[in-house]
Structure 1
Amino acid sequence: MNRAITAGRQPALLLAILSALLSGAPARAEDALAPTTIRIVYLSREGDVAYAEVPADDGVFRPALPEPSPGAELALRDLRATAHAANVVLKLERDVLAPDADAAAEAKRIAEGGAAALIADVPLSDLTALVKAVPVGALPLFDIRQHEDALRRDFCTASLFHVLPSTAMQTDALAQFLVTKNWKRVLTLTGPLPDDTALTDSFKASAQKFGARIVASKAFIIGNDPRRRDQTNVALMTASEDYDVLFLADTARDFGRFVPYEQGPPRPVVGTEGLQAVAWDALAERFGAPQVNHRFERNAHRSMTEGDWAAWVAVRAVAEAAIRGKATTGAAIASTLTQREWPIDVSKGVQVSFRLWDHQLRQSVMLRSGDAVVAYAPFDGFIHQRTPLDTLGADLGDAAEASCKPPP
């Protein structure tokens, strides 16, 4: 463990000692009511490529993402007064895996060591190893990085909680926006990576779900071969099509930044460029988001990313179960979060909660441009029998979710 941060300890102890003095009892710390300590382990891996500068095919280095642990630290600061009032100590411990360390073995050690929760800021392969290593119900594991729908489907019975919106939630949010604007004729432009194809497939499903229409699908390849201009020249690829909006899937950010200015007809772009669906943005202006962003910037000296927000929410979820739900162990917190949809305020206009069947955090999704949050999904007119938030992403009735049932 590298370091630990606590919230709520000293005020509770001083208050108890002061009460003892006023009552005439000996002012001894051991006589004070001992607070309940909730240990939260933040697990990451040394040298994680997710936070390294990576050159794209054009030789340009993309800015490295900042690692999001300051979001968890901010949550502890925000919850200090609440934890004190409940005589609870929230303790955050950093645990960094060596490059060759076994994630599964470390997960077992954390679970057996009495941790109340594990925040996993690790690659997908490590995350699956963690889930398989920790017994179901031993403690909650919070995934603060991955968007893959398959992860939510395949591990829906585990004590794994997903904070960021799934890919389906993101593409559903975009599809709802396009239908609301009556931009229903969509051209899709897909990059060469498997992730690009998966993103486009998700959007096609979203378009069908909400009533948009794919008028054409084009595959883009990177290169300068004049014999393949029909796959490398955006102007040629789009000039003959009649569409309202272009959906772009370029997850590596290799070519997409040029697409808005190279189309044949001038049209809006959504997807990985232009209008993007995200969990959080530092430019959000509503629902208390500016205050959260300002507090984060004051402490971390940079803007808050959606990864920071996810870590912030994970700590808040543990605190909600521990303080309001009276759960004091990892098993009790996991049970509380899986048996009841506890509402959590995350400064996005609605109280959010984890779905009981796949443990995905149901939430509004921000639609951002380069310099503003344009809208929040879901939109008026899209209804659901439980909550409009469940119009985003896989639903309990979906065939893909048939094996995931909520507790009786």
Structure 2
Amino acid sequence: MMRFVFFLILALLFPLAASAADATVYSILYLTKDYKTPPPLSLLKKEWTDEGLKGAEFSAKDGDLAGRLFKKSYVVVPAYLTENEAISALSERDYLSQYPFIVADLHRDDLLALAVLPETQQTVIFNIREKDDTLRTDTCLQNVFHLIPSRAMYADALGQYLKWKRWQKWFLVQGKQPADRLFATALTRTADRYGADIVETRDYQFEAGNRRMETGHQQIQTQIPMATQGAPDHDVLVVADESEAFGLYLGYRSKSPRPVVGTQGMFPTAWHRSFEQYGAARLQKIYEPSRAEA
């Protein structure tokens, strides 16, 4: 995902670079923080700590291939902050004014703090992480360009497909975390927009044990049917669990045999390898490792 959105950045910057007469090097700041993330539910899932940066660097390298015709080059400069370090620390270092473009791999509050700094008022900031809807409405800023879809966009994409399938009765199960509630709110908006009926909204109340242990797995097998029983008649089980606390285990374990959609099961996404239109085949091909690298 990070690689995909950064390639779009280069596509936007390329016409700007091509208009210059002299050879130009475009320095792009990649800014992120060392945010704490929960451990993966499975040991088989590899944790990536530099996915965004590697995607940015590879995309810049690919952009240079076309840039050679116009004597243009792209350079990605990474900047990492600790989770508790203030964005204003970069301002104190007189650091941000050097970069006309910033790729912001930041959470909402940090993204807003970056966008309102005096040094970034003439900077184009590309948001590649934050899905918050208010950044596109109430707190929309003119120097922030959103490459990642918002929660409302994801929910609408899902709602359009469910309407096409005529699965209009939704049983919504939401998690406890703020992000889970925000996506549930987006789903409620989508239901109203496309004429779906949320027959019930239910909080997932159970606390799963260690899911890597046998006892934890048995606990899940027991909890999921209990958590989903007694719901009114519904076509789909819609889950809002961005924190991945329980949603992965709803499939094939719910009390009623219904499709699971939302953050798990069938989920909306900005990119998928099966999508082959609009140059996607080439975009996917360039990121495949060569045989020498494999």
Q: TM range, normalised to the smaller chain?
A: 0.7 to 0.9
Shift of 1:125: 3.1
2:77 and 2:207 map into 1 onto residues whose CA distance is 47
Question: Partner amino acid for 2:24?
Answer: T
Query: Given that residues 96 and 120 in structure 2 are in contact (C-alpha distance below 8 angstroms), is that contact kept between their aligned partners in structure 1?
Result: no
Question: What does 1:121-270 align with in structure 2 at a 5 Å threshold?
Answer: 121-135=105-119, 137-223=121-207, 233-235=224-226, 237-270=228-261
Query: Given that residues 149 and 166 in structure 1 are in contact (C-alpha distance below 8 angstroms), is that contact kept between their aligned partners in structure 2?
Result: yes
Q: What residue number does 1:74 align with?
A: 58
Cα distance change on mapping 1:286 and 1:124 into 2, 3 Å: same
Q: What residue number does 1:64 align with?
A: 47
1:64 and 1:104 map into 2 onto residues whose CA distance is 29
Higher relative contact order (CA 8 A, sep 6+): 1
Q: What residue number does 1:49 align with?
A: 36
Q: Which runs of 5+ in 2 are unaligned?
A: 1-9, 11-20, 209-222
What TM-score comes out, normalization by structure 2 length? 0.77
2:44 and 2:61 map into 1 onto residues whose CA distance is 35
Cα distance change on mapping 1:266 and 1:86 into 2, 3 Å: same
Q: 2:25 aligns with which of 18, 33, 37?
A: 37
Query: Given that residues 28 and 103 in structure 2 are in contact (C-alpha distance below 8 angstroms), is that contact kept between their aligned partners in structure 1?
Result: yes
Cα distance change on mapping 1:268 and 1:233 into 2, 3 Å: closer
Question: Partner amino acid for 1:204?
Answer: T
Report the 3-state secondary structure (helix = DSSP H, G, I; strand = E; otherwise coil) of the residue aligned with 1:297.
coil
Question: Partner amino acid for 2:279?
Answer: G
Question: Partner amino acid for 2:240?
Answer: A
Question: Partner amino acid for 1:195?
Answer: A
Cα distance change on mapping 1:218 and 1:234 into 2, 3 Å: farther
Q: Which runs of 5+ in 1 are unaligned?
A: 1-6, 8-32, 225-231, 303-408
Percent identity reads: 27
Query: Given that residues 147 and 165 in structure 1 are in contact (C-alpha distance below 8 angstroms), is that contact kept between their aligned partners in structure 2?
Result: yes
Size of the alignment, in residue pairs? Answer: 259
Shift of 1:42: 0.9
Question: What does 1:10-25 align with in structure 2 at a 5 Å threshold?
Answer: none
Question: Partner amino acid for 1:156?
Answer: C
Q: What residue number does 2:268 align with?
A: 277
> Which structure has the larger Rg over C-alpha atoms?
1
Q: 2:88 aligns with which of 90, 100, 104?
A: 104
Q: What value does the CA root-mean-square deviation take over the aligned residues? A: 3.0
Shift of 1:43: 1.3
